[in-house]
Amino acid sequence: MNDTLSMVLCSGTDDRLEAAAILIGGAAAIGRPVNVLLQFWALDAFRASGIDADHGLAADARSAAADVVRRRAPAGRLPWAETLRQAKELGEVRIRACSNSMELLGADRTDLDPLVDDVCGVASFLIDAGDGQIVFV
């Protein structure tokens, strides 16, 4: 059994990134390797210049629920970047930027937060995923 959990992150809002970070943290906690590919707005959220900024919540949040989440989150912000930093300390978590999205966003390797380990293409990511689980967020 290939127990690597592969995740493609595409959404760039704090709630989706938090949902992904919680899954990644849970996987790391039970000793599973995690392999993340950042695309589009998720990749954009990992720019060093803005990773700790507010990235908003998905449009599908009812405003009452969104208000509760903002009020209850520590410092009013979902702490996905910090959750990911802890997950990387805890287990084997590799975060890679999709080369295609890098080009589309005009991003350079040096623009990205140190949470990002390297850049790779989709084919490499799929080969690494092998027959393990792939989750798209």
Q: Which positions touch a second copy (CB under 8 A)?
A: 1-3, 5, 8, 10-13, 15-16, 18-19, 22-23, 25-27, 29-30, 32, 39-41, 44, 55-56, 58-62, 65, 68-69, 72-73, 78, 98, 100, 103-106, 121-123, 125-127, 129, 131-137
- Report how far apart, in Å, the C-alpha atoms of 131 and of each of 2, 13, 27 are: 7, 29, 17
Q: Count of alpha carbons within 13 Å of 68, Cβ hemisphere only?
A: 4
**Least Å distance between CB 20 and a second copy?**
8
**Least Å distance between CB 56 and a second copy?**
7
CB nearer to a second copy: pick between 97 and 98? 98
- Report how far apart, in Å, the C-alpha atoms of 26 and of each of 53, 55, 65, 93 are: 24, 23, 24, 11
Residue 132: left if φ>0, alpha if ψ -120 to 50, beta else—which one? beta
CB nearer to a second copy: pick between 114 and 121? 121
